[in-house]
Amino acid sequence: MSKLAISRLNKSFGDLEALRGINLAVERGEFISVVGPSGCGKTTFLRIIAGLEQATSGEVLLDGHAVRKPGSDRGFVFQNDSLLPWRTVLDNAIIGRELAGPVRPADRKDTMELLKLVGLEGFEHYHPRQLSGGMRQRVNLARALAIDPEILLMDEPFAALDAQTREIMQTELLRIWERGQKTVLFVTHQIDEAVFLSDRVLVFARRPGRLQAEVKIPLPRPRNLAIKRTSEFVALVDRIWRMIEDDVRAAALYENT
Amino acid sequence: MSVPSQSVDTAAPVSPAPPKAAFETLLEILRQRYLASFLSVAGGLALWELISRVLVANSLFLAAPSQIAVAIYNLARTGQLGHHVGVSAAEFALGYVIACAIGIGLGLAMAASATMKQALQPWVSGLYATPTIALAPLFILWFGIGIWSKVLVVVTLVLFPVAINTEAGLRTTSERLIEMLRSFGATRRQIFLKVSLPSAVPFILAGLKLGIGRGLIGVVVAELFGSRAGLGNLISQSADAFNMPDLFAGVVILAFAGIVMTAGFGWLEQRLVPWTRD
C-alpha cells in the first residue's frame, strides 16, 4: 500500500478551477517535489493534503485513511516561518505536542534532540527575533518533525532565504531526511532545488492546475552540492524547465497585467 | 601614551573593564541619553523660578518651583497631602480596575461574536467619542460627593479605550499564525488561548496605558465638581483661597503620578511584550 494515495482530486474556488484530476501514489520514505509556475495550484495541492483546505472532489488517503482535517500524522513546514514571537525556540518547536496534551519531560527531551538535529543546539531559549531567517526556518522544520509525522509537507520553505543560505538548508534537509527517511512532499518554484532534493519531481501546469509530467531523478545518494555542477543534473533541470517554460512565461505575463 | 592601550582587535573577546572605566562608561551613557533631557527640564524650572520671582512677582498668579516644593513639604508634614492623595488614588484605582475588567470583557465579547460586535459597537464607539466627563455633575447628584461618583466617572472614561483596543488586538491576530496552529490540529479554544490572546496583549496594554491619562483627568475633574477630599479638591480649595503654591502642589503630584504610571507601563511592556519593539 502506498503511503499517500491521491485519486481524481479536483478543487475549485468558485468559478476558478484550481486543480483538475490529480492522481498520485507516494511510497514510504520517498522525497517528492512539486514544481510549476505560480498559479498552478501546487500550494493548494499541499494544503488539501494537510487538511487546511477541502477538496471539491476526489480522495486523499494517508496510510489508507481519508484525510479531511489537519492531524498529527502530517507535519507542515510553512513558507514564512510562522513562529510565535513570544515563545522561545524550544516552546515554538514543542507546540504540536503541547496541543496534543500535557507536555511531559520526555517531550522536552525529544524536542531538544530535534533542535540539535537541525543545528540549533544552544539556541533553545532564544526568541525568534534574535534568529536569522535560516535559523527560523530550522525551527519551523523542527516544529514539524517534533510531532513525528508520517509525512512532511513543505511549502516553499526556503523561498525567502538568500541563495547561499538556501543551498545550506537544502543539504541540511537531505542530511535530516537521510537519517529518518520520512516521506516528504516538497513544493518549490526552484527547479534545481527540486532536482537536488527529490526522488521524483512532479511538474504541474496551470489553468487549470494539473499534473503535467513526472520526472524520476536517478542521481545517486547521498548527494552534496557538487552534484549541481554535473551534466546529468543540469540536463534534468533543463528538461523540466523546458516543460514549464511556456507556462511560466504565460504566468509572468498574466501577473503583470 | 604611558597607559597601556587596549587591544585594537575588535574581533577579540572583550575583557572585563576595570571598575573605573566601567563607571566612566556609565557616565558616558547617561550623558548621551539623558543630558539633553536633564538640561531641558532644569532650564525650564530655572526659567519658571526666574519668571515667578522677577517678572510675575505676584504669588496670587504664579508660584515658583521652590515655593511649590515647600508647599508639598508642608502639606506632607501635616498629613493633608497623604489624605488627598489617598482618596484620589482609591478613586482612580477602583475605577481603573473595574473599567479594565469590564473593558477587556467587552472586547472579548465583541471579538468572539459578530452579532455581539454589531450590538455593542455603536455604544462603545459613541461613548468613547463622548466627553463623558460632562456627566460628572449628574453622577455626583446620583451617588453623592463621596468616592463612588468619581469611580463611576473614571470607569466611563477608561472603559472604552480598553474595550476598543482589546477587540482590535484580538481581531488583528495574524492569519498565518492561526493557520500554523490549525495545521497542528488545534481547537478553536487552543487557537484563542495560544495565539489570539497573547498577540492581543500589546494592544490591551496600549489601551490600559491610554486609560491612565483619561482616568487621572476623570478623578480630578470629578473632584472639582464636588468632593470632600482628593487632589482635585485640594486644587479647587487652593484656587478659592488664591493659594498658588498649594494649587501647584496638587498639579505637580498629579503630573508625577501620570509620569510614574506611564513609565511603569513602558517597563511592563518591555517585560511582557518584548517582541513588539522590533
For A129, the closest of B179, B180, B278 (CB atoms) is B278
pLDDT value of position A254:
67
> B32 in contact with A at a CB cutoff of 8 Å?
no
Please name the residue that has the C-alpha cell 478553536.
B188
pLDDT value of position B182:
92
pLDDT tens digit sequence for A157-167: 998 888 888 89
pLDDT value of position A40:
86
Burial class (CB in 10 A: 0-12, 13-18, 19+), B112: middle
Beta-carbon separation of A84 and B195 below 8 A: yes
pLDDT value of position A193:
94
Q: What is the mean pLDDT of residues B256-261?
A: 92
Measured from the Cβ of residue A48, the count of other Cβ atoms closer than 10 Å reads: 23
Whether pLDDT at A23 is above 70: yes
Instruction: State the best of B176, B178, B180 to mutate against chain A, taking most chain A CBs within 10 Å.
Output: B180
pLDDT value of position B8:
38
Q: What is the largest CA-CA distance in chain B?
A: 80
Search chain A and give the residue with CA nearest B200.
A86
**pLDDT-based confidence at residue B11 (cuts at 50, 70, 90):** very low
pLDDT value of position B20:
67
CA distance B249 to chain A (A): 42
In single-letter form, the type of residue at position B188 comes to: R
Q: Which residues of A179-218 are buried (b: 16+ CB within 10 A; e: fewer)?
A: eeebbbbbbbbbbbbbbbbbbbbbbbbbbbbbbeeebebe
Whether pLDDT at B6 is above 80: no
pLDDT value of position B278:
55
pLDDT tens digit sequence for B125-158: 898 888 888 889 999 999 988 899 999 999 999 9
Beta-carbon separation of B184 and A80 below 8 A: no
> B97 in contact with A at a CB cutoff of 8 Å?
no
Percent of chain B at pLDDT exceeding 70: 92
Beta-carbon separation of A147 and B184 below 8 A: yes
Give contacts of B175 with chain A, Cβ < 8 Å. Answer: none
Is A220 in contact with A179 (CB distance < 8 Å)? no
pLDDT tens digit sequence for B47-71: 999 988 888 777 778 888 999 999 9
Could you give the CA distance from residue B111 to residue B231 in angstroms, rounded to a whole number?
Answer: 38
**pLDDT-based confidence at residue B95 (cuts at 50, 70, 90):** very high
For B182, the closest of A70, A100, A128 (CB atoms) is A70
Q: Is the peptide bond before B65 cis (omega within 30 degrees of 0)?
A: no
Whether pLDDT at B9 is above 50: no
Give contacts of B199 with chain A, Cβ < 8 Å. Answer: 86
**Max mean pLDDT range (A130-139, A241-250, B7-16, B266-275):** A130-139
**pLDDT-based confidence at residue B162 (cuts at 50, 70, 90):** very high
Lookup: cell for A103: 507536555
In single-letter form, the type of residue at position A118 comes to: V
Give contacts of B182 with chain A, Cβ < 8 Å. Answer: 52, 70
pLDDT value of position A156:
92
Residues B200, B203, B209, B214, Cα dihedral to 10°: -110
Is B253 in contact with B231 (CB distance < 8 Å)? yes
- Give chain B's count of helices (H) and strands (E): 11, 0
Q: What is the mean pLDDT of residues B193-216?
A: 92
Give contacts of A98 with chain B, Cβ < 8 Å. Answer: 194
CA proximity to A132, closest of A156, A160, A112, A106: A160
Domains belonging to chain A, first-starting first, are 1-67+153-158+186-257 (3.40.50.300)
Q: What is the ipTM of this complex?
A: 0.87
pLDDT value of position A87:
93
| CATH ID of B78-277, from 3.30.70.980, 1.10.10.10, 1.10.3720.10, 1.10.287.3510 | 1.10.3720.10
Beta-carbon separation of B181 and A99 below 8 A: yes
Return the minimum-mean-pLDDT range out of A73-87, A175-189, B3-17: B3-17
Could you give the CA distance from residue B7 to residue B260 in angstroms, rounded to a whole number?
Answer: 43
What is the crossing angle of helices B231-240 and B80-112, to 10°? 130
Whether pLDDT at A57 is above 80: yes
> A68 in contact with B at a CB cutoff of 8 Å?
no
Q: Point out which residues pair with A186 in neighbouring strands.
A: A33, A154
> A54 in contact with B at a CB cutoff of 8 Å?
no
Search chain B and give the residue with CA nearest A97.
B184
The length of chain B is 278
pLDDT tens digit sequence for B166-187: 999 999 889 999 999 999 989 9
For A76, the closest of B183, B201, B274 (CB atoms) is B183
Search chain B and give the residue with CA nearest A79.
B176
| Three-class secondary structure of residue A88 per DSSP | coil
> B193 in contact with A at a CB cutoff of 8 Å?
no
| Three-class secondary structure of residue A198 per DSSP | coil
Mean pLDDT of all residues belonging to chain B:
87
Could you give the CA distance from residue B219 to residue B95 in angstroms, rounded to a whole number?
Answer: 9
CA distance A230 to chain B (A): 38
Beta-carbon separation of B195 and A71 below 8 A: no
More confident residue, A246 or B160: B160
Portion 85-124 of A in contact with B at CB < 8 A: 85-86, 95-96, 98-100
Q: Where are chain B's structural domains?
A: 78-277
pLDDT value of position A155:
94
Percent of chain A at pLDDT exceeding 90: 50
pLDDT value of position A255:
61
| Three-class secondary structure of residue A103 per DSSP | coil
pLDDT value of position A1:
78
Could you give the CA distance from residue A99 to residue A93 in angstroms, rounded to a whole number?
Answer: 12
> A157 in contact with B at a CB cutoff of 8 Å?
no
Search chain B and give the residue with CA nearest A72.
B184
A-B interface: how many C-beta pairs under 8 angstroms? Answer: 54
Beta-carbon separation of A70 and B183 below 8 A: yes
